[in-house]
């Protein structure tokens, strides 16, 4: 393994206080380990935006209003169209009108982004978040 490098970083006090509180509650005993994990997460979350050809995996989380005309059939059609990307989906009824759909994906970054954008821009889709990491 590569050796450890020591760096000095400055923080606004409030940010560091929040970070220490949260990581302390999580059970981190070392601030270095907590910062390393936070940076690793940040890098893995953003790497996919730059490595469109690389293999990536993750979930697309989507909240939508199922009353919106044609939305459910359009969403199903889009998912059939991208079936090679989609490993699994989970549907949760949130109330009278809203549904949560969790779509597990794996494939090329550019194709995952294409699916994500296709779903996000449809009328009736209220929230779409993707958590994609490079693998
Ligand atoms: Ni539903």
- For the question of whether the overall pTM of this predicted structure is more than 0.85, the answer is no
Place of tokens 């590569």: 2
Instruction: Give 71 Cα–ligand 1 centroid separation in angstroms.
Output: 12
CA of 41 to the centre of ligand 1 (A): 31
CA of 129 to the centre of ligand 1 (A): 18
84 Cα to the center of ligand 1, angstroms: 24
Return averaged pLDDT per consecutive 10 residues of the chain, 135 residues in all: 87 95 95 93 74 86 94 90 93 95 94 90 92 83
User: What integer pLDDT is reported at residue 34 of this predicted model?
Assistant: 95
Instruction: Specify the pLDDT at position 135.
Output: 78
Q: What is the predicted pLDDT for the residue at 48?
A: 66
The domain 55-134 is placed in CATH, from the list 3.30.420.40, 3.30.70.1150, 1.10.3720.10, 3.10.450.50, at: 3.30.70.1150
Q: How far is the CA of 66 from the centre of ligand 1 (A)?
A: 7
Q: What is the pLDDT of residue 133?
A: 84
Q: Domain locations in the chain?
A: 13-50, 55-134
């Amino acid at each position: 393994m590569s050796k450890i490098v020591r760096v000095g970083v400055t923080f606004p006090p409030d940010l560091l206080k929040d970070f220490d509180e949260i990581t302390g509650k999580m059970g981190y005993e070392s601030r270095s380990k907590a910062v390393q994990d936070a940076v690793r997460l940040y890098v893995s979350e953003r790497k996919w935006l730059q490595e469109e050809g690389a293999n990536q995996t993750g979930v697309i989380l989507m909240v939508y209003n199922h009353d919106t005309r044609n939305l459910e059939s359009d969403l199903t059609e889009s998912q059939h169209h991208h079936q090679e990307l989609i490993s699994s989906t989970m549907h949760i009824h949130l109330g009278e009108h809203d549904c949560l759909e969790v779509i597990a994906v794996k494939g090329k970054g550019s194709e995952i982004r294409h699916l994500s954008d296709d779903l996000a821009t449809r009328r009736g889709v209220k929230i779409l978040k993707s958590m994609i990491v490079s693998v």
